[in-house]
């Protein structure tokens, strides 16, 4: 069985125009997401996003799913979004029932 993947794997996140981000999961051998984590590794920060508030997952029934990472995820940051340095990275880790995981990286820009 193939490994689950997400696309895209990275994107910019604009401080001046925050927006939701849509990801696509290719399930591979997985059948569900077991956990979603977020963090800013360079700053040693870890966050616990909540389904429905910070993200949603919709199974498309065709071997894929759509993940909507909401702009409200930035409310988990310890400082207001405008104070986050340009170039800072936020990593979203999606864990699957196969024990595998996929990562998506935001880079903060003006």
Q: How many CB atoms lie within 10 A of CB 74?
A: 20
The mean pLDDT value of the chain amounts to: 95
Q: Structure pTM?
A: 0.93
Report d(CA 93, CA 15) in Å as an integer: 21
* pLDDT score, position 47: 93
Question: Does 7 score more than 90 pLDDT?
Answer: yes
User: What pLDDT, in 10s, does the model give residues 53-64?
Assistant: 999 999 999 999
User: What pLDDT, in 10s, does the model give residues 66-89?
Assistant: 999 999 999 998 999 999 999 999
CATH classification at residue 34: 2.60.40.1220
Counting every residue written for the chain, the total comes to 110
Range of the domain at 19: 5-109
Token pair 């001046």: residue = 16
H or E segment to which residue 40 belongs: strand 33-40
| Overall number of domains in the chain | 1
């Amino acid at each position: 069985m193939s490994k689950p993947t997400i696309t895209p794997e990275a994107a910019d996140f604009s401080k001046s125009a925050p927006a939701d981000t849509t990801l696509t999961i290719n399930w591979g051998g997985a059948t569900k997401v077991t956990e979603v984590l977020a963090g800013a590794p360079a700053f040693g920060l870890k966050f616990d996003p909540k389904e429905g508030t910070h993200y949603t997952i919709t199974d498309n029934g065709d071997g894929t799913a759509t993940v909507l990472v909401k702009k409200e995820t930035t409310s988990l940051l310890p400082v207001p979004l405008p104070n986050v340095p340009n170039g800072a990275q936020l990593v979203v880790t999606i864990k699957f029932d196969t024990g595998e995981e996929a990562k998506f990286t935001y880079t903060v820009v003006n």
